Chain A
Amino acid sequence: MSEKSTEISNKSDAERLQIRKERFALLRRNKAFTIGIAVLGFWTLCAIFGKYVTPFKADEQNFEFVSISPNHTYWFGTDANGQDVFSRVIVGSRLILVMSFAATILGTLAGTSLGLITGYFKGWFDTIVMRLLEAISAIPAIIIALLAIAAIDGKSPTLTVFIIAFVFTPNIARTVRAAVLAEAEFEYVAAAKLRTERTPHILFKEILPNVMPPIIVEFTVRLGYAIFAIATLSFLGAGVEYGSPNWGTQISENWAQIFNNQWWPTAFPAIAIASLAVSVNLISDGLLEVFEI
């Protein structure tokens, strides 16, 4: 590597570090982001430690207290099977968080890779891949997921994660590709090419760090969608095991009880889903403001 290019690179790193510090400072002062992180953090703690702190086991049935409204013993009441709604909501956070994060990470990795490659190479490869991705994007994600789950006849969370990751990939790829198209015109990319850097280096070491802000924002947006997608699939009886303390499943099992004026087995998991989705959206909003995207 020449002396000049090393200087450019060092200067670039220093600038990046400074920008990063400024952004973190801005994020700490951003109320939406702070609230979002707090709520997400709460549910994350529940997901990790919930089963150790709940007053009852999530699957435990107490036939003496069936369909009991919220009270000092059963804070969120009990469902028609005599199960404690509070314990199930707390423990139920684990599956939806793990699944939604896993699906979003997988989708982001796949989408980012595709976006980098298509945006950098352009040409016929870009055209074909993007048309394919647009075709996939045109079909609602839930429909694709339901069709895939039905076709495979599987209800494993792992399978559901892969399916959701698959349906998210096109959106992320398009976002990344748009950013890469702009970045590819900058001089530092040309400089890297002049240095005869290998393509993976240019893509992942040069361009990727500069398109991270839209990727991070896209990640949070997709995370919100993933939460809803998993909750919806669970509600529809697809994706996860019936009877598990998953929020969507809990709503699916108990919603008809609303007509018996037993709102609590449905309301609390629904509130939990809403709070988690809103927290992710607040984080996303905060990131958007700070990154000025």
Chain B
Amino acid sequence: MTIIDETTNEVAKTGVSRRHFIQGAAATAAGAALPVAGMVGSGAASAAAPKVLRVATGKQVHPAAPWETSDGSLFIISQVGEWMAFQKADGSLEPRLATSWKSSNGAKTWTFKIRKGVKFNDGTPVTVDDIVYTYKSVFTANPSRSKGNFTGLLDANGIIAVDSETVVFNLLTASGNFPYTVSSVSYGMCIIKKGADGGAAWTKTMLSAGPWKMESYTEFEKTVFVPNPYYWDTNFKPNFDKLELIQYTSAATALPALKTGKIDAIAGMEAADALSLDKSKFNVLTTKAGAGFAHVHMRCNFGPFKDKRVRQAAALTIDRVGYVKGVMKGIGGVVGNDSVMDPYPAADKSVAQRKQDIAAAKELMKAAGVPNGFSVDLSTWQRDDIAKYAKLIKTSFAKIGIKVNLVIDGSDGGGAVYYTYNPYPSAKGKVFEYDNHSWLASNLGIVDWAGRGVPDQYLQREWKSTADWSAAQLWDDVLDAAIDEYIAAPNPAKQKIASKKIQERSLEMTPYILAYTSNLIYCARKGVSNFSVNAMGQIIATQTVVA
């Protein structure tokens, strides 16, 4: 099984300075250590007042509901929800509702043993019927944002409750990494009660079986949680009374609150912000985010990037190394090679790294019949890292005459225009012959993808011809075959063979630019220990101690 095997960023490989490396190492070590002294802050309240852990997160766009989430609302669901397994900060899976799983029939059948005695946060028991309902409901719910995870992989008939402790998934095709698909990586698929409405109405109760229980929910602003008294893990005994997730448009704007003790942690931030923190007062940590977070798409079936030579030329304009070292300060990410495979162990390192080559890019533009370039809108939404990425694209593309006009949605931190579900879904053969500045109907754009421990979901939902979230809309049988080969590969050796095909074809077709892949950077004040955030941005506070 492919996993990311460490949480701290490999800063040395990015060419970061020794000073920054030592700073990062010191911060990581400090984060792992138990606190030696508490800071003045919200957590250090009087005996009568509740002890609260306050965490700044990004903004949500859609309701924090299982069937509707597809953005920052996942941070909220991750506290109340429970999955078969949970992606840890190191990218591996931690058994949760499932105690174990095994594959058979060449990875076409997956059997999950279900934990006994698990209860929802209202005290009622979780049964295999609830689990089966949760997975079956995604095929009939409308909207159903998680349905695309199973396209071509599973249908409702394949989900079977064998007995009170066993659930079997009979897949349509083999999948070596299937447990990830039913884990918190499919963040909208937390277990809900049989018959429950997983749509927006769910936000009133947030009934699931996770470690926290929703006390109050103010959409787009703040959610307050208290410990779920029925949580199955008896080791879950937080020394604080409440957990608050507070939404900020920009993590940088949360810095004053952090520095003055009004919040205790920031769950995702820019490298420059993190490096500005006083290391004696705050712990800064990083989590490898796989192929997250931002993917630049160039639409392949319509518009000015239809010719692959134009896409290749565009990708050649970017100074990837310079950007990672300069803007991302070496700790924010690693240089990408325009495929989602590169950050993972399955990647074949022999595939040549794409580098900036303006002369070659100009030749490609000439060959494509657009030697003088063209104008195009780049659509995306407002987030610190994405806005910077958009600028990089604008200045880079300008070198070959492509004039990029930035259309950035949601100065309030939202993305209602860009992340509209009109049109939806992308599908092979369906061309959206317009650009409405939305995610799935824009010639050029940047989409935010959470960090997965394996690349399967990117491949299934973004890269394959059948993908429902394919912003680039590349329909390529060669790539599809390579993806199918990878998904079905039962062992790392076969995954590596398939990965090389995907990497090479990705460079050839260049539907997306991944100039870098990110590290999730988060911080907490000294006095908050065992606090972590996984690559999905899901906050893990079950073992957190607040001094």
B326 to A: closest C-beta gap in Å: 3
Residues of chain A within 8 A (CB-CB) of B319 are: 63
Given A67-B272, A259-B252, A259-B256, CB of A61 within 8 Å of CB of B406 = no
Is there a chain B Cβ closer than 8 Å to A241's Cβ? Answer: yes
Interface of A is mostly: loop
B402 to A: closest C-beta gap in Å: 13
Chain A residue nearest to B274 (CB atoms) is A260
Cβ contacts A51-89/B at 8 Å (1 or 0 each): 000000001111111110000000000001110000000
Residues of chain A within 8 A (CB-CB) of B407 are: 155, 241-242
Is there a chain A Cβ closer than 8 Å to B156's Cβ? Answer: no
Are B327 and A236 interface neighbours, CB within 8 A? no
Is there a chain A Cβ closer than 8 Å to B153's Cβ? Answer: no
The segment from B386-394, B480-488, B525-533 that touches chain A is B386-394
Is there a chain A Cβ closer than 8 Å to B280's Cβ? Answer: no
In chain A, positions 160-183 with a C-beta closer than 8 Å to chain B are: none
Chain B residue nearest to A243 (CB atoms) is B406
Cβ contacts A264-282/B at 8 Å (1 or 0 each): 0000000000000000000
Are B252 and A257 interface neighbours, CB within 8 A? yes
Residues of chain B within 8 A (CB-CB) of A236 are: 411
Are A81 and B327 interface neighbours, CB within 8 A? yes
CA distance A236 to B382 in the complex (A): 12
Is there a chain B Cβ closer than 8 Å to A118's Cβ? Answer: no
Chain B residue nearest to A67 (CB atoms) is B272
Given A60-B395, A260-B276, CB of A237 within 8 Å of CB of B382 = yes
CA distance A261 to B252 in the complex (A): 11
Given A237-B382, A243-B394, A256-B253, CB of A63 within 8 Å of CB of B387 = no
Is there a chain B Cβ closer than 8 Å to A252's Cβ? Answer: yes
A68 to B: closest C-beta gap in Å: 10
CA distance A259 to B270 in the complex (A): 13
B443 to A: closest C-beta gap in Å: 16
Cβ contacts B97-136/A at 8 Å (1 or 0 each): 0000000000000000000000000000000000000000
Chain B residue nearest to A257 (CB atoms) is B252
Residues of chain B within 8 A (CB-CB) of A238 are: 411
Given A155-B407, A252-B411, A257-B252, CB of A82 within 8 Å of CB of B394 = no
Are A242 and B272 interface neighbours, CB within 8 A? no
CA distance A155 to B390 in the complex (A): 17
Are B406 and A242 interface neighbours, CB within 8 A? yes
Is there a chain A Cβ closer than 8 Å to B408's Cβ? Answer: yes
CA distance A66 to B325 in the complex (A): 10
A149 to B: closest C-beta gap in Å: 12
Apart from A155-B407, A257-B272, A260-B255, 5 more pairs, CB < 8 Å: A66-B329, A153-B417, A243-B406, A252-B411, A253-B387
28 residue pairs bridging A and B, Cβ less than 8 Å apart:
A59-B398, A60-B395, A61-B391, A61-B395, A63-B323, A63-B326, A64-B322, A65-B326, A66-B327, A80-B270, A81-B392, A82-B326, A153-B417, A155-B407, A236-B411, A241-B405, A241-B407, A242-B408, A243-B387, A253-B387, A256-B252, A259-B252, A259-B253, A259-B255, A259-B256, A259-B259, A259-B273, A260-B276
7 tightest Cβ-Cβ pairs between the two chains A and B = A63-B326, A237-B411, A256-B252, A63-B322, A259-B255, A260-B276, A242-B408
